[in-house]
Amino acid sequence: VSIAQLAALIAQDPSMAVRVLQVANSAMYGGLQAITSLDLACARLGLRNTANIVQAVANAQLFTCDDPKLNVVMKSIWRHSLVSAQAGFE
């Protein structure tokens, strides 16, 4: 997969595109200039990080519901999943 192909795929989902741009411009990845292009955002983040961000954003939508009480539990499960995944990489 090329960066251009990945950026074109992400561009099909506006909320996903915004999130990738936010991360690329965050303090952790931010450079001297703000990124406004998905191509440049994917290049700054790299293919692996971009794919991880996309997967995390997509999976987070699975852990939401309309019931406020159940939503609290779902968010807790989501946080636990993220921490477990991060611990597996270290």
pLDDT in tens, 72-81: 888 888 888 8
Q: Give the model's pLDDT for residue 88.
A: 74
Per-residue pLDDT of 1-54, as tens digits, reads: 889 999 999 999 998 999 999 999 998 887 788 999 999 999 999 999 999 899
Alpha carbon 38 to its chain's center: 13
CA angle 26, 8, 24 (to 5 degrees): 5
